[in-house]
Structure 1
Amino acid sequence: MVDYSQLDRNDILCVDMKSFYASCSAVMHGLDPLSCYLAVVSDRSRQGSVVLAASPKLKKEFGVRTGARLFEIPDDPRIQIVEPQMNLYLRISVEITKLLSRYAPPSAIHVYSVDESFIKIDGTASLWGDAATVAKKIRFEMDKEFQLPCAVGIGPNRLMAKLSLDLEAKKKGIAVWSYEDVPSKLWPLAPLSKMWGIGKPLERRLNRMGIFTVGQLAQYDLKKLEAAFGVIGNQLYYHAWGVDLSEMGEPLPQRQLSFSKSQILLRDYSKRSEVQHVILEMCEEVARRAREHKQAGRTISLGIGYSKEESGGGFYRSRTMERPTNTTMDLYEACLALLREFDSGKAVRKITVALSRLTAAESVQLDLFQPNLWKSQMIGYTIDRIRRKHGPTALLRAVSYTEAGTARRRASLTGGHKAY
């Protein structure tokens, strides 16, 4: 049992913009975000382009979801298809954060994503009213100034605010959860993947332990959970009770398990030399992200998706190194070995590169038999500094200037999509 009387009861709001990309685009086209039929698609010229966002009514009446393909959208004259304007979305997101800052100082606001933020309003009741009143004011001002709909979840900590948002406020507009609501509102939840922080793989492992609802997770033996999952087991147990002790300035409880990059190519790549060029670019990006987070990994994974013109299919295989690395060429050589071993030779349309089994980069031991190892690592960090200062295309590998290279084009994108 958890003694809630020992826990702080803050007033934390989780503000989520409804179908943010689609709503922004709808407003820019003079449409009502809640009544129009609009889809934001990465590239209207390609039938296989991904749907990045769909307006609420398009989701409800036509079943078009984020991640669907352009060719899956029904041929209906009411449906408008637009391309993303990533820079615009980011600018609006900044303005929304400024709106939230009217109710709390910057230190009390945590921007979780481009369309979702937490705001702690403890001690402001004499100025703005209680948490529910502030939520109503935020929704009113969001509609008045941006014509954008939003939902607000309210809880005594960030976890409870997020759960109240995802499980109730997205349907009702505003929801308030307290610790006393946990048994009635949170514990019946199933499947477990509906719980924030639990993905499908973790759900399957919990199911094998006989845990199918959040309530069963809350009543499970804590020591057994910790034995099975380590510190994650402790977190799962207390989250099932609605307990979150993290402070507003801390990152939300989550564990970086890997760094990966996946790319759907604009055309079929039949030549293996071209495929290798793209793999090298992607290894460079994955290694950069690992270095940025001061991490190194032992397991390198390569995924290849073949063209539908050649019956599709593909493979996803991994190779574990003797020592952790965040060096581009180490990743590239491992990927080439995997490509040579498992490739069927068909035209390639999708490539994925991942680095996992992470450890702190500073704990990586140098090898006496590889005296240049330290230098090769430092070269990567030096390249990163140059690109941060002068831009991502200031220093590129020669393969990026070939016809197969994609790095130069992708550098002009924001969030992987068109910026205009």
Structure 2
Amino acid sequence: MTANDFAKIYQNEDRRVVFLIDSKSFYASCEAVERGLNPLKAMLVVMSHQENDTGGLVLASSPMAKKRLGISNVTRQKDVPDVPGLIKAEPRMNLYIKKNLAINAIYQQYVDDEHLLPYSIDESILDITDFWHLFGKNPREVAQKIQRQVLAEMGIYLSVGIGDSPVLAKLALDLEAKKAPHLLAEWHYEDVPEKLWPVTNFGHVWSIGSKTAQKLQRWGIASIGDLAKQNPYVLKERLGLMGEQLYALAWGIDRSDLTEKITPKDKSYGNSQVLPENYHDGVAIQVVVQEMADQVASRLRAHQQQATLASLYLGYADQGIAFNTRHNPKTGLHQTVRIEPTNRSQTLMAVLKRIFQENWSGDPVRYIGVSFSGLANESIQAISLFDKAPSPTDQEEDPVDTVVDQIRRRFGAASLVRSISLEKGATAISRANLVGGHNGGNAYE
């Protein structure tokens, strides 16, 4: 392919200036800064703690801990070596959220709200196309200015990928910037053949999971360059929408617009947790299911929503909890039922209890998820012409729910619990101050 042919491919593509910024080893860096240590030089891991047979997991490790001890973010607590100078920090999720908000507030000094997208707890996307010239001679200089400001004000090092599109910025970040001396990489469409196409380890490429990578390799696609040469219609036929997206990724093309307002087609409220041990006792499993139903029902009421669909997921022990196995009956249970619109705790608890009793296979359970969807505003009620009109009491709020919600909002989720939370296997009290499943704050909202 000649340079002219290559240029024609991108002639109709919008060239933007996109920064994808990653806070390096974010949780570990926050803990290092709180201790007055340099995040790049400290020997530190952030480790969750579980009272079970396998222990907790390393959530984050400093670059030095990774380099010297080979610790990764999936290392088990029991496999973390006891060496002099290694700091083992408990997670503080509320601290990390606070730091993340402060870092994004710095980004807001360079772009407006519409052109800033917090992508995760440690990554943000900035479309700085219309703003960079206000802060430097070129985008690279602006990126370095942001790096220096965040380091000076927050003590956190940033890795920055710069690209002509969001996906190109992400690839520049993951494949080059994170290991570059200045933690900065800039990729343009013209760089795709030289920098992207030679990549053969699909596991290093954003959005390509292990199962997709295995399929690609079975089809003789051994590199991103091979992927770019495929027929996009065949890829879409084989992989669906993902095939189309992967073809675009192989060319660095991404037409996402950060300013576009996205409205979810079907919103839902849910919660999930990994149990501290394998649960064999059906009664204990029911207790946790009901606790979770109560917690999610509280969120429904807080947002004035009622649900018409209730779902229960059980992940069986020793089967893994990967997303692509969630609907496999051999590895777990996933059952959804239609219900009358409600957000009452007692009703939703009873529904999920019935789903469990009617469908549980008796296998030991390690993962539980509940969700409520098919939402409608609680102030609007659909009435069938063929059914008896609902009584006034059916439409009124449960006074017990109202009082419980008020107390929990004021004093915390564990300030008032149902009696089932004192039974064997219950987890609501121990998890009340967790954020994202880890130590760090009130998870009521």
Q: Same fold (TM over 0.5)?
A: yes
CA contact (8 A) 1:286 1:353 kept: no
Q: Secondary structure at the match of 1:151?
A: strand
Q: Is the 8 A contact 1:279 1:351 kept in 2?
A: no
User: Shift of the alpha carbon at 1:298?
Assistant: 9.4
**Which residue number corresponds to residue 413 of structure 1?**
434
Is structure 2 residue 7 aligned with structure 1 residue 17? Answer: no
State the shift of 1:222 in Å: 1.7
Indicate the residue corresponding to 1:181 in structure 2: 191
Q: Structure 2 residue aligned with 1:317, among 308, 332, 338?
A: 332
2:85 is aligned to 78
Return closer, same or farther for 1:75/1:155 CA change in 2, 3 Å cut-off.
same
For the pair 1:305 / 2:317, whether they are aligned, the reply is yes
Q: How does 1:75-114 map to 2 (within 5 A)?
A: 75-114=82-121
* Aligned match of 2:345: none
Identity %: 32
Question: Are 1:319 and 1:334, in contact at CA under 8 Å, matched by a contact in 2?
Answer: no
The residue aligned with 1:6 is 12
Partner of 2:142: 134
Contact 1:17/1:116 (8 A) holds in 2 = yes
Is 2:296 the counterpart of 1:274?
A: no
- Residue in 2 that maps onto 1:309: none
SS for the counterpart of 1:113 is coil
CA-CA distance at 1:17 after TM superposition: 0.5
2:106 paired with 1:61:
no
Taking the aligned partners of 1:412 and 1:188, their CA distance within structure 2 comes to 46
Asked if 2 retains the 8 angstrom alpha-carbon contact of 1:193 and 1:199, the reply is yes
Structure 2: which amino acid aligns with 1:157?
S
Match of 1:34 in 2: 40
Deviation at 1:378, TM superposition (A): 11
Provide the C-alpha distance between the structure 2 equivalents of 1:190 and 1:372, rounded to a whole number of angstroms: 64
Match runs of 1:10-409 below 5 Å: 10-43=16-49, 48-123=55-130, 124-172=132-180, 173-250=183-260, 261-265=272-276, 271-282=281-292, 301-305=313-317, 316-319=331-334, 330-339=351-360, 341-343=361-363, 350-353=366-369, 391=409, 393=413, 398-409=419-430
Q: Tell me how far apart the structure 2 counterparts of residues 132 and 50 of structure 1 sit (CA, whole Å).
A: 37
215-224 or 400-409: which moved more?
Answer: 400-409
The DSSP-based 3-state class of the residue aligned with 2:331 is strand
Q: Which amino acid aligns with 2:58?
A: V
Indicate if the aligned counterparts of 2:29 and 2:156 stay in contact, CA closer than 8 A.
yes
**Does structure 2 conserve the Cα–Cα contact (< 8 Å) formed by 1:261 and 1:286?**
no
Does structure 2 conserve the Cα–Cα contact (< 8 Å) formed by 1:9 and 1:156? yes
Question: Helix, strand or coil for the counterpart of 2:135?
Answer: helix
Structure 2 counterpart SS, 1:3: helix
Q: Separation in 2 of the partners of 1:37 and 1:104?
A: 35
Unaligned runs of 5+ in 2: 1-5, 319-329, 342-347, 377-381
Whole-Å Cα distance in 1 between the matches of residues 261 and 64 of structure 2? 34
Question: Distance between the aligned counterparts of 1:262 and 1:289, measured in 2?
Answer: 17
What is the CA–CA distance in structure 2 between the aligned matches of 1:44 and 1:133, rounded to whole Å? Answer: 45
The verdict on how the C-alpha distance between 1:178 and 1:289 changes in structure 2, with shifts beyond 3 A counting, is: farther
* CA distance 1:369–1:354, change in 2 (3 Å): farther
TM-score by length of 2: 0.75
CA distance in 2, matches of 1:367, 1:191: 57
Q: What amino acid is aligned across from residue 244 of structure 1 in structure 2?
A: D
Q: Structure 2 CA distance, aligned partners of 1:379 and 1:298?
A: 19
- Which deviations, in whole Å up to 9, do the C-alpha atoms of 1:167-200 show, x marking residues without a partner? 1000010000001111221122223232211212
CA-CA distance at 1:419 after TM superposition = 1.7
Aligned length: 401
What code does the residue aligned with 1:318 have?
L
Instruction: Confirm or deny: 8 A CA contact 2:308 2:338 kept in the other structure.
Output: no
- CA RMSD of the aligned region, Å? 4.3
Separation (CA, whole Å) in 1 of partners of 2:204 and 2:418: 43
Contact 1:283-1:332 within 8 A present in 2 as well: no
For the residue of structure 2 that corresponds to 1:93, the secondary structure is helix
Q: Aligned pair in 2 of structure 1 residues 317, 378: CA closer, same or farther (>3 Å)?
A: farther
Match of 1:311 in 2: none
Q: What TM-score does the superposition give when structure 1 sets the normalisation length?
A: 0.79
Aligned CA distance change for structure 1 residues 108 and 370 (closer, same or farther; 3 Å): same
Query: CA 1:276–1:185 in 2, change beyond 3 Å: closer, same or farther?
Result: same
CA distance in 1, matches of 2:228, 2:271: 32
What residue ranges of structure 1 are gaps of 5+ in the alignment?
307-314
Rounded Cα–Cα distance in structure 2 between residues aligned with 1:49 and 1:61: 21
Q: Which moved more, 1:172-181 or 1:330-339?
A: 330-339
